[in-house]
């Protein structure tokens, strides 16, 4: 179980806090969805939850234990927005083993099959894959480390309708084994697989019922 308690992020150069007393609880094998407009603090929150940034105050707990930034790095795997832009391995195998040369071929194969890429050659170039395959590879790069918590920043951004649908199905499958926290400005088809939802506005996180949001999305639009 992930708990965030009164998390505040307020760099001294900023007139107001970027994250304002954020409280959140996420149970294992659930998919939490945070929806917020551009600039609301989504990526900043994921940076804290992946140990890349330290909160000004407040705490992150996993089960009953409060975590320091370096412990959070072990716990969480962050998939950046447009992760394919950060690929630096010349082959799929190199990409998966970056920073973990000790990982055996079984872990490599397991990570690829988790994301449905087991049929690809390990010597294929990451940049030669389709957009949807690249997103899957970026997920495998984090899953191979077997993090307790998978963090995804706008996972469907820039994908066409069918690739988006495939990725949403994959996330629905992954949450059977992993705990996922997804941030997006456009809930769209991610709402269907969310177990709990929050909105984030100007750094303020509020819990919302996914069913209420789903009903809103499905409401017929008034004729103009």
Q: Which stretch binds Mg ion (CB under 5 A): 35-43, 156-164, 185-193, 214-222?
A: 35-43
Residue corresponding to tokens 């330290």: 54
From the list 34-42, 57-65, 71-79, 119-127, the region that binds ligand ATP by CB under 6 A is 34-42
14 interacts with, out of Mg ion, ligand ATP, none, CB within 5 to 8 A per kind: ligand ATP
| Binding of ligand ATP by 44 (CB under 6 A) | yes
**Cβ within 8 Å of residue 188, ≥6 positions away:** 156, 164, 217
List of residues 6+ apart from 206 with CB closer than 8 A: 198, 199, 200
The correct pick among 4, 17, 18, 150 for binding ligand ATP (CB under 6 A) is 18
Among the candidate windows 8-16, 26-34, 160-168, 186-194, which touches ligand ATP by CB under 6 A? 8-16
- Given Mg ion, ligand ATP, none, residue 90, with its beta carbon under 5 to 8 Å by kind, binds none
Stretch that binds Mg ion, among 40-48, 61-69, 89-97, 199-207 (CB under 5 A): 40-48
- Do the strands 149-153 and 76-79 form a parallel or antiparallel pair, or are they unpaired? parallel
C-alpha–C-alpha distance, residues 156 and 72, integer Å: 25
Cβ atoms < 10 Å from Cβ of 61: 14
Radius of gyration of the chain (CA): 18
Q: Are strands 19-26 and 2-9 parallel, antiparallel or unpaired?
A: antiparallel
Residue 50 contacts Mg ion per CB under 5 A: no
**CB burial readout 23-55, b (16+ within 10 A) else e:** ebebeeebbbbbbbeeebbbbbbbbbbbbebeb
**Residue 185 within binding range of ligand ATP, rule CB under 6 A:** yes
In this structure, are residues 143 and 178 in contact, taking their beta carbons and an 8 Å threshold? Answer: yes
Under the binding rule (CB under 5 A), the answer on residue 43 touching Mg ion is yes
Binding residues for Mg ion, how many (CB under 5 A)?
A: 2
14 touches ligand ATP (CB under 6 A)? yes
16 lines the binding site for ligand ATP (CB under 6 A)? no
* Cβ-based nearer residue to Mg ion, 91 or 199: 199
Task: Using CB under 5 A, list all residues that contact Mg ion.
Answer: 42-43
Task: Using CB under 6 A, list all residues that contact ligand ATP.
Answer: 11, 13-14, 18, 36, 38-44, 185
């Amino acid at each position: 179980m992930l708990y965030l308690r009164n998390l505040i992020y307020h760099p001294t150069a900023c007139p107001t806090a970027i994250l304002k007393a954020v409280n959140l609880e996420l149970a294992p094998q659930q998919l939490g969805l945070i929806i917020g407009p551009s600039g609301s603090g989504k990526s900043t929150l994921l940076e804290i939850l992946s140990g890349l940034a330290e909160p000004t105050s407040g705490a992150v707990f996993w089960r009953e234990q409060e975590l320091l930034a370096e412990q959070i790095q072990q716990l969480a795997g962050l998939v950046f927005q447009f992760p394919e832009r950060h690929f630096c391995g010349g082959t799929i195998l190199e990409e998966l083993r970056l920073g973990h040369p000790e990982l055996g071929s079984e872990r490599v194969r397991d990570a690829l099959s988790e994301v449905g890429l087991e049929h690809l050659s390990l010597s294929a170039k990451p940049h030669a894959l389709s957009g949807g395959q690249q997103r899957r590879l970026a997920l495998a790069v984090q899953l191979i480390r077997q993090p307790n918590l998978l963090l995804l920043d706008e996972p469907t951004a820039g994908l066409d309708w069918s690739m988006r649908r495939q990725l949403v199905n994959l996330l629905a499958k992954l949450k059977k084994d992993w705990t996922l926290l997804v941030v997006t400005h456009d809930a769209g088809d991610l709402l269907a697989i969310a177990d709990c939802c929050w909105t984030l506005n100007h750094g303020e996180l509020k819990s919302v019922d996914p069913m209420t949001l789903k009903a809103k999305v499905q409401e017929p639009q008034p004729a103009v």
